[in-house]
Amino acid sequence: MRVSLLHEMLAHKGATCENRYGVEIVSKFTELSTEYHFVRDTIGLTDFSHMQRYSIPEATAVDFFDTLVAGAVIRTRFGRMLHTFIADESGTILADCFVANNDDEYILLCESIVDDVAMAEIMHKHGGAQEGLVDLSADTVLLSLDGFSAWKVVKELFGTDVLGLPYLSVENYTYENEKIRLFRTGKTSEFGYLLMAPKAIAIKLTEHILAEVEKHKGGLCGLTVHDTLRLEGRFFNIFAEGVRVGDPLVLGLQWMIDFDKSAFIGRQAIIDRREKGLTKKIIGIKSAAASDRCAVSDSVWDNEKEVASVVATCFSEVLDRCVGLAVFPADIAYSGLSFHLKSVSGPTLHTISMPPIMPKSLSLKLDEM
């Protein structure tokens, strides 16, 4: 099992850890509600070192990625990132990826449902070694800064330039003479940044950032709270609906795919399913009453008939309701309908438009930063 370079430090700060697909992750530090409010109201700092990360020289990167990931890497401009996925031959999602076109290299960041050995095998089969692919996962740390005020900390670290970075961009900075790759990303709907730093400064940088975060009354978060944050923002979560559904078309991830590409892993299976047409579709759901809770695998009923199944759910503090995602037959997969949960006479459930919440960060203007 791969362990983060921050293991000792985070354990000392009260981390509860678990094994997720062969990588030790911090699931939480404190109450989930506390961590949730760090992000929604101020800043949460999360160790995202579970993500597999690779570097590949610019000269060979486009050809390598073009047949590996589903998206159009070739159209990713300098300094920008592509959000896409890696599938297996059956067209089932294995990894949710960002590909960053960064200076003289491309960086691949993966959240996957396969362990490091299986991912290394995929890269090996794909000719990674010959193309100069370097696995950075064990030698770097990846920190995620998320929240309404997350920009304040990166501005403090790297200057006001960071405020102009658009979503899905990458930039290099220096800290203690070491290179830090800063990715403007995030899946919480609030401001989000990923910082990749080498081993030599991993702990010092983390302590520094945490001190800044705490100045703003933020704190450390585990990965569990990110399930709620992602769902509220309707960001794809490979660890929730991703692993339970698998099919990128049912998941509504067609926007991550370049259908004009001649080859990528799983392309034929995905194209075949696309041509047959969708019979199922994932859509948002919300309980009618605050006291009604739903769980993964709960059935959804219309009159006497079971029509859908819940694949992701959380309690949204903002909405004071359970929200989630369920897979419905495509012909009735529309927002604004009412069904019942668990049985024909169960609690009422509404299908809803996603994302269901309006994040505070969207109300902030550049001249207010």
Partner 1 sequence: MTPEMLSYIDRRKAIVQKFKEELIKRLNLPYTPADLHEDVSLLGAGLGLDSLDALEIVLCVESCFGVKIPDQNISILRSINTIVDFVIETQDAKGGTQ
Residues found near partner 1 in the complex (CB under 8 A): 83, 166-168, 234-235, 252-255, 258-260, 274, 277-278, 281-284, 302-303, 331-332, 334-338, 353-355, 358, 362
Minimum CB separation from partner 1 for residue 193, in Å?
14
Long-range contacts of 152-159 (CB under 8 A, 24+ apart): 152/43, 152/212, 152/216, 153/43, 153/209, 153/212, 153/213, 153/216, 154/182, 154/193, 154/195, 155/369, 156/212, 157/208, 157/209, 157/212, 158/182
Q: Which is nearer to partner 1, 24 or 190 (CB)?
A: 190
| Strand-pair category, 44-47 with 219-221 | parallel
* Distance set, CA 135 to CA 59, 60, 129, 202 (Å): 17, 15, 10, 17
Peptide bond into 347 cis (omega under 30): no
User: What number of other Cβ atoms are within 10 A of residue 12's Cβ?
Assistant: 9
Q: Which is nearer to partner 1, 3 or 168 (CB)?
A: 168
Q: What is the secondary structure of 76-119 as a DSSP string?
A: --TTBEEEEEEE-TTS-EEEEEEEEEETTEEEEEEEESS-HHHH
Q: Which is nearer to partner 1, 22 or 355 (CB)?
A: 355
Minimum CB separation from partner 1 for residue 229, in Å?
13
Q: Can you state the angle between helices 32-41 and 224-233, rounded to 10 degrees?
A: 50
Q: Which is nearer to partner 1, 51 or 283 (CB)?
A: 283
Q: Which is nearer to partner 1, 240 or 354 (CB)?
A: 354
Q: Which is nearer to partner 1, 211 or 358 (CB)?
A: 358
Minimum CB separation from partner 1 for residue 255, in Å?
5
Q: Which is nearer to partner 1, 104 or 275 (CB)?
A: 275
Minimum CB separation from partner 1 for residue 178, in Å?
30
Minimum CB separation from partner 1 for residue 16, in Å?
29
Q: Do 321 and 356 meet the contact criterion of CB atoms below 8 Å apart?
A: no
Task: Please tell me the distance from the alpha carbon of residue 43 to that of residue 259, in angstroms, as a whole number.
Answer: 38
Q: Which is nearer to partner 1, 138 or 278 (CB)?
A: 278
Q: Which is nearer to partner 1, 198 or 233 (CB)?
A: 233
3-state SS class at 262: coil
Q: Do 81 and 185 meet the contact criterion of CB atoms below 8 Å apart?
A: yes
Minimum CB separation from partner 1 for residue 72, in Å?
9
Which residues, including other chains, have CB under 8 Å from residue 31's CB and lie 6 or more apart?
none
Which residues, including other chains, have CB under 8 Å from residue 121's CB and lie 6 or more apart?
none
Q: Residue 300's closest CA among 267, 333, 260? A: 333
